[in-house]
A and B are shown apart, each in its own frame.
Chain A
Amino acid sequence: MSTWNDPPGGFHPISAPDYLPRPQLAGIQLQRLQSVVTRAYERVPLFRSRLEERGLKPASIGSLTEIASLPFTVKTDLRDTYPFGLFASPMEEIVRLHASSGTTGKPIVVAYTQSDLDVWSEVMVRSFVACGLHRGDVIQNAYGYGLFTGGLGAHYGAEALGATVIPISGGNTERQLMVMADFGVTALCCTPSYFLHLLESAKEMKIDFSRLRVGVFGAEPWSDSMRERIQEESGIRAYDIYGLSEIIGPGVGVECRDQRGLHIFEDHFYPEIIDPESGEVLPDGAEGELVLTTLSKQAMPMIRYRTRDVTALVSEPCACGRTLRRIRRIGRRSDDMVIIRGVNVFPSQVETALLRVEGTLPHYQIVLTREKGLDQMEVKVEVTSEVFSDEIRKLESLQHQLEASIENILGLRVKVTLVQPRSLARSEGKAKRVTDLRNV
């Protein structure tokens, strides 16, 4: 079957593993799993001690299902071993470091050997191919370049595909639109909300982007209704791409032309779905938390990493012919993390910031909205008798200090609003700290 967005050649050789018969794929997975577990056991003290506590050896893993006997890795493990404690390669072999925000003030650091970067480029090429891109496409990469994995991950993947890359990075909407029109851009990488903003601005500025064919959108949650809106209003095909720095960055999974779930590149990332409460592995089709194991990572192997993303594995064959299992699009998380403009935000980070300024923790609430396609974060903070002043300038100064403290920790500009004491809803048990009004 061929569709309008298939590449002229029909098939890119690098995508061959997408179509492996399942038994053959399982053989590769088991061999790689045993090898990565051995590597982590020999080189990462935290992992080794956890296996020893359970009386396990790498040789205990004789089948893929036995992965369930291995301990989980969680985000706080990266923080507790900051910066390099989970590295399994000496610095001489590490060629790149990236970082993203952690649960407290310190970021989490991830590392890549040259082989890891090659794997990353490979899965990005396979992602772009799944989205119908090929040589000759002009790809505008509006993901942020820098410590964030989005920019460089998409960049090297697009180059490896043989496409023309415009490394424009994020921001500056007018320049984005000018480049899109003047350079004949056919594909765009950015967050879906930013694309909506570009779309509105393009209409206002009467900019023609009729050559744009494909959007590869990720780094934040978005819904099917948002996709329909994007596709109807712009005429492009909008694909969801999934990834996280701890695993590799973007390129862990991606949609194909059927847009019914994201294929996980299972030859490099082994997916499981677990019950977030009990930790038990759930069968395909059941909803739970996605757990990923990097099968080929060298610098920083992640064994059973708990992503906190809630989804389900789809094992039914896909009409596109790929044998890779899919995950349903991520709708929510099993923890209280939210993603704003590609930045991971935990309420605990906001609490740290408020504490630094006020000394005690006030009641607060995080409100997320989307204005002109851009996520906005507002933190409502109740005024306490300790900080209240009869002078306007002291309260305004408090407000600015709170904003600066939060920006300092999150790297994200937020708006702080002081509110009356006891005006924020109190819930029984666990406080609901985040109100998400983004309608994604």
Chain B
Amino acid sequence: MVIVGGINMRKILATIIAVTSLGYSSAFAGTLVINTDLTDPAPKAAFEWAFNKFQEENPDVTIEVNNFDHEGYKQAIRNFLTTNPPDVFNWYAGNRMLPFVRAGLVEDVSDIWSDTGWVDGNLTEGMSHAKKPMTIGGKQWGIPYTYYQWGVYYRKDLFEANGISVPTTWDEFVAACATLKAAGITPITIGSKYLWTTAGVFDYLNLRTNGYEFHMALTKGEVPYTDPKVHAVFDKWDELVKPGYFLENHASLAWQEAIPPMVNGEAAMYVMGNFSVALFKEGGLTNDNLGFFQFPEITPGIPMAEEAPTDTMHIASGAKNKTDAKRFLIFLSRADVQEEMNKTLGQLPVNSGSKVDPDPFLEAGLNMLNNAYAMAQFYDRDAPAEMASEGMKGFQEYMVNPDRRDKILERLEKVRQRVYK
């Protein structure tokens, strides 16, 4: 690092403290250093299993794990990749890894994806559908090991009581909202305090109105935010926001705080990721009254693409033990390993050779994603960070003040011109 100033010194120091306190010692031959942020119980258990299994199969390798706190990891990764790179680290697909790839901190692993000699089976076959989000500049930079679907979670009993069947078209969806609202039930719950939930709604409206290609073009900055196609998305959004189909006061609620209204029967739907199922069930809902459906079609004939944020493993370009790091990535891409890990994670394996547990939500998700035209990573992973943060602020402001649409889109256009120049 050329510039060593107040901020950097402090951050470096913080990293050193974090790393040493985690019992770090410098790597020697045969040691595989892995940095992760998997502190939540399920990911922790899944990876503990994977580490043990890898160790069993490769007794010559010693695994050394530095586990960071989930939020702190987002800061720490920038420091450890530049100052003290591990061999392997976990991160996310899409544009989220772009700054690190561009700075030359991530190892190109295209050979794992193309050279079948590395792998027992064939990686490209089992995971070809997930190759795109791992590709930057024609090369692959990591291995995906888990993902989950987004869609609409709903109260089956409330739908039944009001004579609503699962909507498959936009008109049916809006009609369902109107019926629920008339019955005194908030049609859609949402907590937008931390902004990203609004992006889920925007992404689906955009994917269904304009399709996957437009979503990618927009997040890549190729289309202005004042484009009529963007306005078309907001026209559809208007149909939900203006009649008040979303939960009141959502701007002061975290996404978890929007779950109780649905558990209490005050709200009927939530556009969310599959990780929410655990919380719904903790709140007392069961497979009998909680259901899942695919976000309905808006423009007929547009192929249905889905949101499926993917978690990934990468090799640092400064890794000391790249051979074992690649062995670990190949191990992690295997169908049997992903199957076992995702059973613990409660998510979907990326390798299409893996099976999932008999869980209605996972089965629905797997079925939906296997038939998906394409998979978006989510607005804040497909768009660069700066654009994403401004965009999501704009979505939140729009959801409370729909009449400010033009002003918001003009502001986002200004940001787009700055960010992508």
Q: Specify whether A and B are partners.
A: no
